[in-house]
């Protein structure tokens, strides 16, 4: 009996490739694709986080820079003052520089300079050499000078530290006189 062509192909043994190698190939391709997708995703996430961090840092820095201008320094003329020591034979020679918030404050202080110098001379003349030779005495004098300038110029004095987080007062504006710097301090 003659076989038909269709029956011949159906009965003829067809070479079959092993199924294990085909499955292994698909698994390996799947793992490689998955690894590439995972690496690409991680790269984009890390890059996005780094870009956000840099932009945030730049914005934060520029915001701080806008509010924090470099201080202005105003040197005062040198002062010689008799101290309050017994016998009245001790004196101090002081060189003072004021650290100010800005140039406008410097111009404002220059208008009041005679009153400010007078107040500083009176403050120093009430001190003894023993007080001024101590660090605490110099620091207290600097604080008193700031308070005296505040009084003369009708500024509110700087807020005292230690108000604590429980304080319900709003934060004070920065005081325009930020510091008193001694450029020379001689006691004889």
Task: Give 37-49 pLDDT, tens digit per residue.
Answer: 888 888 877 887 7
Statement: residue 18 has pLDDT above 90: no
Residue scoring higher pLDDT (126 or 171)? 126
Statement: residue 30 has pLDDT above 90: no
Average pLDDT over residues 102-126: 92
Which helix (H) or strand (E) element contains residue 175?
A: none
Average pLDDT over residues 22-48: 82
Average pLDDT over residues 166-179: 64
Statement: residue 61 has pLDDT above 70: no
Average pLDDT over residues 19-23: 72
| E strands in the chain | 72-75, 79-82, 91-100, 177-187
| Residue 44: per-residue pLDDT | 79
Residues present in the chain in total: 188
In this structure, what DSSP letter does residue 166 have?
A: T
Contact of 78 with 109, CB cutoff 8 Å: no
The span from the CA of 77 to the CA of 145, in Å, is 15
Residue scoring higher pLDDT (126 or 61)? 126
Statement: residue 97 has pLDDT above 50: yes
Average pLDDT over residues 99-110: 90
| Residue 13: per-residue pLDDT | 62
Statement: residue 16 has pLDDT above 80: no
Instruction: Tell me what percent of the residues of the chain surpass a pLDDT of 90.
Output: 40
* Average pLDDT score over the chain: 79
Q: What angle do CA 22, 23, 26 make, to 5 degrees?
A: 90
| Residue 114: per-residue pLDDT | 94
């Amino acid at each position: 009996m003659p076989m038909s062509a269709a029956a011949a192909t159906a009965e003829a043994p067809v070479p079959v490739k092993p199924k294990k190698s085909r499955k292994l190939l698909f698994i390996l391709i799947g793992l490689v694709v998955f690894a590439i997708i995972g690496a690409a995703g991680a790269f984009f996430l890390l890059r996005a986080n780094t870009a956000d961090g840099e932009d945030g840092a730049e914005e934060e820095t520029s915001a701080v820079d806008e509010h924090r201008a470099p201080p202005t320094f105003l040197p005062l003329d040198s002062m010689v003052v008799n101290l309050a020591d017994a016998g009245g034979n001790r004196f101090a020679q002081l060189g003072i520089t004021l650290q100010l918030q800005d140039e406008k404050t410097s111009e404002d202080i220059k208008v009041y300079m005679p009153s400010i110098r007078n107040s500083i001379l009176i403050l120093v003349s009430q001190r003894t050499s023993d007080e001024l030779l101590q660090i605490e005495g110099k620091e207290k004098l600097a604080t008193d000078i700031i308070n005296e300038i505040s009084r003369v110029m009708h500024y509110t004095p700087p807020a005292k530290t230690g108000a604590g987080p429980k304080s319900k007062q709003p934060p004070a504006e920065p005081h325009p006189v930020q510091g008193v710097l001694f450029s020379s301090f001689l006691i004889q």
